[in-house]
């Protein structure tokens, strides 16, 4: 077999080595067997046109496609399906081991194949590991449509792929598989002739544990299943995979955790309350339980953002920045590395001074608005930039704050009936201690502008 041509070893050629890992044997042969990524495979979509037979339609899409998504979401499989569906020749390179010399040799082969009318799909896994020089070597082939490039990466291409290649490519974002999708893959692998062919059965608790431990990664799910099946089959006439086999296969205890049930809500509640209560160790414990159980890290990050705003607030304004940065980091790098910024956010939020003053303030203001306390905007604050505004008195008497001492102009800002309203009451903790001291002086100046108050 040619060093670069893996068609004979892939489903693109319809032949699979029975000694190959279960995840390879169960790779979908067509779109009917493919699970997930429905947002990329709608009829008429560029990827669908590449995969479906029909030559001319396939040529209407870019010659370079970058598949960005977490491990086990189907990037390699989609590349195989493009080659299989379009009848193109399939070649594959790993950015971990290939060099510029390998790339040029492969492109020479593709050029010779194209001279005979055979197009080539070039799949590059882990393209973010390619150096700039290696990525530059691909540009002429992409520019001249010498190959249909399918590049896969788990990292944000905006940071890991050179701009010239990125601008010539169609960027497609893959999502982690959901629990239902992973479950379907597991069930198919147990029953399918290419897989375990019904030689073992899987208890429902073991299936649920396997789905949780997979964390949306189809390859991981099938790898665990294959290892557990090997353990279950030892010395048994009718092997059954139970939770014990799953635990032994991954060498970890299966965390009792149901993402749609009581454990999800109980652990999440304890997680939030521990951080709110400044118990950093308990917060990290519940974070670890959620991660180990396969909880969606984006859900965890969202909860931390809410907590930073609600429970830390202005006592430490940088806490919200840390939480948002952690969410962005998880989106960019995925798991398992995403556990590190999540832990950093937990430590920051748990150890930060706490204040819910901003949270209480907006709820109090909303309560007044809902009660109908929404008087007209004072005339001097109204928009005065359109013709006729001056005739209506809009903007008349407005004082520009920066021209006043301390940049605080003594004038009325609140609508009628709300001049005495006090929503924000800063605590004496953290940064809010400074806010409170300054706010007391500011409010004294503003009170002096009220009609019922003597001038300051």
Residue 54 has a pLDDT of 57
Place of tokens 């701009």: 163
Does residue 267 belong to any structural domain of this protein? Answer: no
Does residue 453 belong to any structural domain of this protein? Answer: no
Does residue 193 belong to any structural domain of this protein? Answer: yes
Half-sphere exposure of 203 (CA within 13 A, CB side): 14
User: Measured between alpha carbons, how far is 414 from 134 in angstroms, rounded to an integer?
Assistant: 62
Is residue 346 domain-shared with residue 370, that is, in the same domain?
A: no
ω before 213 within 30° of 0 (cis)? no
pLDDT tens-digit series, residues 102-121: 888 888 998 998 888 888 88
Is residue 30 domain-shared with residue 46, that is, in the same domain?
A: yes
Domain end residue (candidates: 351, 376, 399) = 351
Is residue 98 domain-shared with residue 231, that is, in the same domain?
A: no
> Which CATH number fits the domain that encloses residue 433?
1.10.3710.10
**Which pLDDT band holds residue 313 (cuts at 50, 70, 90)?**
very high
Q: What range does the domain containing 386 cover?
A: 357-447
User: Measured between alpha carbons, how far is 293 from 306 in angstroms, rounded to an integer?
Assistant: 22
Is residue 30 domain-shared with residue 146, that is, in the same domain?
A: yes
Residue 451 has a pLDDT of 65
**Which pLDDT band holds residue 252 (cuts at 50, 70, 90)?**
low
Is residue 78 domain-shared with residue 189, that is, in the same domain?
A: no
pLDDT of 271 higher than 50: yes
Is residue 160 domain-shared with residue 187, that is, in the same domain?
A: no
Is residue 394 domain-shared with residue 300, that is, in the same domain?
A: no
Does residue 2 belong to any structural domain of this protein? Answer: no
**Which pLDDT band holds residue 312 (cuts at 50, 70, 90)?**
very high
Q: Please give the residue that has the higher pLDDT: either 395 or 131.
A: 131
Domain end residue (candidates: 332, 351, 370) = 351
pLDDT of 159 higher than 50: yes
Is residue 52 domain-shared with residue 194, that is, in the same domain?
A: no
Does residue 1 belong to any structural domain of this protein? Answer: no
Does residue 387 belong to any structural domain of this protein? Answer: yes
Among candidate residues 252, 242, 248, the one with its CA nearest the CA of residue 207: 242
**Which pLDDT band holds residue 314 (cuts at 50, 70, 90)?**
very high
Q: Please give the residue that has the higher pLDDT: either 9 or 264.
A: 264
Mean pLDDT calculated for residue range 6-19: 52
> Which CATH number fits the domain that encloses residue 224?
1.10.8.60
Is residue 341 domain-shared with residue 368, that is, in the same domain?
A: no
Residue 391 has a pLDDT of 73
Is residue 155 domain-shared with residue 17, that is, in the same domain?
A: yes
Number of helical H runs and strand E runs in the chain: 19, 7
Residue 393 Ramachandran class (φ > 0 left, ψ -120 to 50 alpha, else beta): left
Residue 222 CB contacts under 8 Å (≥ 6 apart), including other chains: 21, 22, 23, 26, 185, 186, 189
pLDDT tens-digit series, residues 15-66: 667 778 888 889 888 888 888 888 888 888 888 888 775 544 444 555 688 9
Structure tokens at 113: 């194949």
Residue 418 has a pLDDT of 84
Q: What is the pTM of this model?
A: 0.57
> Which CATH number fits the domain that encloses residue 161?
3.40.50.300
Collapsing DSSP states into helix, strand and coil, what is residue 451? Answer: coil
> Which CATH number fits the domain that encloses residue 307?
1.20.272.10
Q: Domain count of the chain?
A: 4
Domain end residue (candidates: 321, 351, 381) = 351
Is residue 294 domain-shared with residue 329, that is, in the same domain?
A: yes
Does residue 256 belong to any structural domain of this protein? Answer: no
Residue 5 has a pLDDT of 40
**Which pLDDT band holds residue 81 (cuts at 50, 70, 90)?**
confident
User: Measured between alpha carbons, how far is 131 from 133 in angstroms, rounded to an integer?
Assistant: 5
User: Measured between alpha carbons, how far is 42 from 59 in angstroms, rounded to an integer?
Assistant: 18
pLDDT of 202 higher than 60: yes
Angle (CA) 435 430 283, round 5°: 140
Is residue 428 domain-shared with residue 373, that is, in the same domain?
A: yes
């Amino acid at each position: 077999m040619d060093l670069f041509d893996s068609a004979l070893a892939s489903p693109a050629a319809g032949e699979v080595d029975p000694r190959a890992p279960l995840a390879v044997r169960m790779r979908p042969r067509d779109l009917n067997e493919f699970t997930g990524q429905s947002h990329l495979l709608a009829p008429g979509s560029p990827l669908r046109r590449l995969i479906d037979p029909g030559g001319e339609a396939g040529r209407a899409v870019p010659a370079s496609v970058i598949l960005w998504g977490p491990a086990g979401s189907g990037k390699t499989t989609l590349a195989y399906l493009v080659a299989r569906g379009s009848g193109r020749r399939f070649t594959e390179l790993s950015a971990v081991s290939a060099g510029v010399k390998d790339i040029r040799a492969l492109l020479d082969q593709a050029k010779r194949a194209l001279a005979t009318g055979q197009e080539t799909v070039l799949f590059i896994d882990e393209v973010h590991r390619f150096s700039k020089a290696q990525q530059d070597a691909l540009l002429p082939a992409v520019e001249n449509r010498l190959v249909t490039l399918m590049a896969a990466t788990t990292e944000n291409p905006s940071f890991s792929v050179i701009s010239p290649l990125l601008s010539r490519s169609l960027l497609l974002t893959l999502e982690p598989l959901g629990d239902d999708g992973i479950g379907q893959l597991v069930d198919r692998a147990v029953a399918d002739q290419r897989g375990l062919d019904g030689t073992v059965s899987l208890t429902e608790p073991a299936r649920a544990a396997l789905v949780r431990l997979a964390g949306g990664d189809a390859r991981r799910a099938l790898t665990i299943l294959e290892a557990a099946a090997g353990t279950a089959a030892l010395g048994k006439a009718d092997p059954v995979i139970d939770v014990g086999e799953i635990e032994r296969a991954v060498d970890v205890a299966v965390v009792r955790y149901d993402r749609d049930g009581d454990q999800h809500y109980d652990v999440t509640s304890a997680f939030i309350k521990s951080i709110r209560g400044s118990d950093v160790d308990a917060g990290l414990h519940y974070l670890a339980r959620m991660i180990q159980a396969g909880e969606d890290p984006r859900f965890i990050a969202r909860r931390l953002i809410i907590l930073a705003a609600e429970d830390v607030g202005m006592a430490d304004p940088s806490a919200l920045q840390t939480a948002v940065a952690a969410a962005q980091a998880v989106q960019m790098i995925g798991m398992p590395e995403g556990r590190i910024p999540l832990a950093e956010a937990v430590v920051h939020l748990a150890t930060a001074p706490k204040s819910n003053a901003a949270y209480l303030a907006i709820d109090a203001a909303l309560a007044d608005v809902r009660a109908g306390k929404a008087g007209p905007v004072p005339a001097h604050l109204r928009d005065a930039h359109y013709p006729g505004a001056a005739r209506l008195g809009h903007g008349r008497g407005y004082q520009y704050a920066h021209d006043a001492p301390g940049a605080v102009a003594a004038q009325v800002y609140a609508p009628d009936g709300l001049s005495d309203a006090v929503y924000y009451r800063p605590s004496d903790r953290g940064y809010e201690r400074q806010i409170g001291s300054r706010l007391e002086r500011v409010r004294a100046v503003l009170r002096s502008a009220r009609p019922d108050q003597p001038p300051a």
